[in-house]
A and B are shown apart, each in its own frame.
Chain A
Amino acid sequence: MKLAYWMYAGPAHIGTLRVASSFKNVHAIMHAPLGDDYFNVMRSMLERERDFTPVTASVVDRHVLARGSQEKVVDNITRKDSEDNPDLIILTPTCTSSILQEDLQNFVDRAQMDSKGDVMLADVNHYRVNELQAADRTLQQVVQYYTEKARKKGDLPQGKTEKPSVNIIGISTLGFHNQHDCTELKKLMGDLGIEVNVVIPDGASVHELKNLSRAWFNLVPYRELGMMAVEYLAKEFEMPYVDITPMGVVETARCIRKIQQVINQQGADVNYEAFIEDQTLHVSQAAWFSRSIDCQNLTGKKAVVFGDNTHAAAMTKILAREMGIHVVWAGTYCKYDADWFREQVSEYCDEVLITDDHGEIGDAIARVEPSAIFGTQMERHVGKRLNIPCGVIAAPIHIQNFPIGYKPFMGYEGTNQVADLVYNSFTLGMEDHLLEIFGGHDTKEVITKGISADSDLNWTKDGLAELNKIPGFVRGKVKRNTEKFARDRGIKNIDVEVLYAAKESVGA
């Protein structure tokens, strides 16, 4: 048992659901008790999704506990199959079904006989893997399933596309700025003269999966999601992949050079050096930003970085290599992939921190007192408590991290966005500090304005006590309304009853 208040990566089924609901016309059925369909709320709220999230629960209740699911799961699958005609239904185990140890594969096999669509059991163990690992595994599983299916039917397309082409693998729902990154990556591929063959899982149909092998190579922008799928494709079709995250000016260039090498090996004859130079010097503002006076002021400032592998590693390199900022420590909560992270960042920071205990991270922040933090929402709150500004760079995230404006972190526009994020975090911190030195904009005590400033009214103790229970930001308004109410009626003593009578009369 572990005492825990907060977790960075969610439970395994969340990863499976993220992949399932990213695909078009794929439905997930969770084998779970009532209330475990909270994923639907998150997707509907955070992504502001217009469509119903294609996830339902086959509810595990007391009866299931006593007698087993029996026909229930099979019925729910076939029912969903006839209601929505999905291409694929993924039966998703949860922590509850992990310990019930029902033979879910058997349910899947039986349901498959009566379903028009395909039915599959997500192969994830709740107690062994987290959200990210489960998502990675589920994506690979779906890719493998449809590759094998096409091969069996003999309609696996042969050969490559005529022009160089790419699959972008790992864009998913509830991923940090995934939609914007995807747009930016497609634009980048367009600029490089590379066709986008298939993007998975987001917005893809499972029918497209058999075409994956037609691309010249795969691009995996995120370390956490897609690696298993591209490794599978590499094994099956000898497809090369590029797993350099194009985040930051230097890494974007490195990613493009790698792409150049990969496609030239297959007979293309491209040279992207001029493109890289043009983008770096003239299109992206980030390179110029790092030369400008503003950025000079950031030299040697202390920062700490924490997040998932992809974003924390890329951010650390940007801060240290491109902006001259001193990264005291960089950390990740992807403990299962810690070696990769260490290898990526160790030359760019003093210390590497691998943990998923937010308390430890909070202490590490307090210890080094950085000028800015780049982390998740949790670090943002630590920053608030310690009065240190924080730029959010990775999940877990809140609704404000799903902006509707265009905010990629990848590609050349991404470099601009990251530069803004970094700059704004630091200046705000500086401003705050200067304000403190010079005594602030204004005094903290706001002079009471309006009619109650010079009150002829008497608040009784119980009235005052009740008034103080009202949240600060409306208290002034309630006080004024109540006093007006009392004055209008010639009431001299305001007690708790007058307070509520006033509330009823003005309806505020």
Chain B
Amino acid sequence: MTVAQSQSSNPESLNFECETGNYHTFCPISCVAWLYQKIEDSFFLVIGTKTCGYFLQNAMGVMIFAEPRYAMAELEEGDISAKLNDYEELKRLCLQIKRDRNPSVIVWIGTCTTEIIKMDLEGLAPNLEEEIGIPIVVARANGLDYAFTQGEDTVLAAMAARCPKEAPVAQSDKDERSGIKKLLNFGKKKEEIAQEESEYVDHPPLVLFGSLPDPVVTQLSLELKKQGIKVSGWLPAKRFTELPVIEEGYYVSGINPFLSRTATTLMRRRKCKLIGAPFPIGPDGSRAWIEKICSVFGITPKGLDEREAQIWENLEDYVKLIRGKSVFFMGDNLLEISLARFLIRCGMTVPEIGIPYMDKRYQAAELAFLEKTCKDMGVPLPTIVEKPDNYNQLQRIKEIKPDLVITGMAHANPLEARGINTKWSVEFTFAQIHGFTNARDILELVTRPLRRNNSLKDLGWDKLVKEEAQV
């Protein structure tokens, strides 16, 4: 059945398709690029081959020159054929890292190769950790099992196991633990801090998970503070040594759609309660996210109507550019559902949402919200294509001629040369897109090709390939 047929056969609910999985995306080891920057005292060791190294080196461009806190443990023929002892080799490299960088944690990233040769990283880590005195966290972020942003999911799921089990009780312990916090309070008096506490409603502890740039962490925390909700901690924190306390019964909420393993780990291993909400992407998503958290804590949200309306008003100049236009997601980073939902609310139509992997349970609230948004806006429900086939997608793009294709860099230039507007999907993972404050940044990205091409439109330079080359 083709995608077009299936869509017409059932217009009432979302259609889920699954194709061949022949699509382009980044290798999940790319997560080290943003995680080493986020977790300031970490060191990421990618245990793989030249292929992995070449990818990281090229994908991260200039970052590579800034003495990054990551490196390859490049496997050689002797490692593959087990002529060399894995434990001894890793020990040698980790000691070198300890000597040169002295990190608070070393994260081992397992790759395809370590999977195939069945290197027992999870087994080696605890022993080596004991021997060298630095925590070693193992994440198997490989291209056999995962796509792009799911790499972060595997790392955070592994980190979740390292979060302290209980809040220190004694006051003296507390003082020690919050030494840095105290510094940040700039010697505020106790009463002041107590008064700060009183700004919050009494609710069970809430920990948010997902790696975001620090400014966005501040913004989202402030947003919840306005509702009297206190964020007890973030997974990950700025430093490995500051991982949040997670006790049984804590509430957790994800801020990104690709964190299903982390969510599962927090629920099953740490006995947390997951607040399943749409993700705070776009003003509609941000509001729904806050409302859901409020509702779980029995809080009546205040001022969200005006807040959302205000943001939409400020977005109007951008929304005007995309209203009534169509956008096609080829799918490579798992943000697709949330972005599509937001863009539909902006007045766009979405014929297809490609996505590497669809966790219908973890994304349930987001999917329901997408469905509702489509109904509210009176647009047809999109088809969600899991494990898409890029070749087939290009045929569909040729047929539908969408106004915008959100895609990876492998297809962007060739599509532009054929007169199709594209936006490079990876930018959405690196830009600040969460919360009310950054809604404009999403539209800044989405409208950029349209604005650029508006200024070029009278030149007659849309199609820049000679014969219609085979797609």
Contacts and interface: CB of A to CB of B under 8 A. Distances in A.
Contact of A94 (B51, B53, B92, B144): B51
Sorting the interface of chain A by its residue count into under 10, 10 to 19, 20 to 34 or 35 or more gives 35 or more
Nearest to B464: A50
Given A65-B115, A496-B222, 4 more contacts: A5-B68, A34-B27, A38-B55, A466-B218
Given A33-B144, A61-B21, A466-B215, A96 B53 contact: no
Nearest to A83: B391
A1 B21 contact: no
A10 B71 CA distance: 16
Contact of B116 (A99, A398, A503): A99
Interface in A38-53: 38, 40-42, 44-45, 48-53
A406 interface: no
Contacts of B219: 500
A2 interface: yes
B411 A3 contact: no
Contacts of A61: 21, 144-145
Interface residues of B, number: 78
Nearest to B29: A35
Interface of B: 21-28, 47, 49-51, 53-55, 57-59, 61, 64-65, 68, 71-77, 79-80, 84, 89-90, 92-93, 96-97, 112-113, 115-117, 142-148, 186, 214-215, 218-219, 222, 310-311, 314-315, 391, 394, 408-414, 417, 436-437, 440, 464-465, 469-471
B49 A11 contact: yes
Contact of B59 (A6, A38, A100, A127): A38
A84 B470 contact: yes
Contacts of B116: 65, 96, 99-100
Contact of B410 (A50, A53, A59, A127): A53
- For the complex of A and B, 3 pairs with smallest distance between CB atoms: A35-B27, A33-B143, A40-B410
A53 B43 CA distance: 35
B437 A503 contact: yes
From DSSP, what is the main secondary structure of chain A's interface residues?
Answer: mixed
Contacts, number: 187
Contacts of A99: 80, 113, 116-117
A66 to B, nearest CB: 10
A7 B89 CA distance: 20
Contact of A504 (B73, B411, B436): B436
A504 B65 CA distance: 34
Contacts of B21: 34, 59, 61
Contacts of B47: 1
A479 to B, nearest CB: 15
A56 B80 contact: no
Interface in A380-398: 381, 384, 396, 398
A21 to B, nearest CB: 12
A70 to B, nearest CB: 15
Interface string A369-410: 000000000100100100000000000101000000000000
A57 interface: yes
In this complex, which of B143, B219, B411 has the most chain A Cβ atoms within 10 angstroms of its Cβ?
Answer: B143
Contacts of A57: 22
Contacts of B115: 65
Contacts of B89: 1
19 contacts: A1-B79, A1-B89, A2-B72, A2-B76, A34-B23, A34-B25, A34-B143, A35-B147, A41-B58, A41-B59, A53-B410, A95-B51, A126-B49, A127-B80, A378-B65, A384-B65, A398-B61, A466-B215, A504-B311
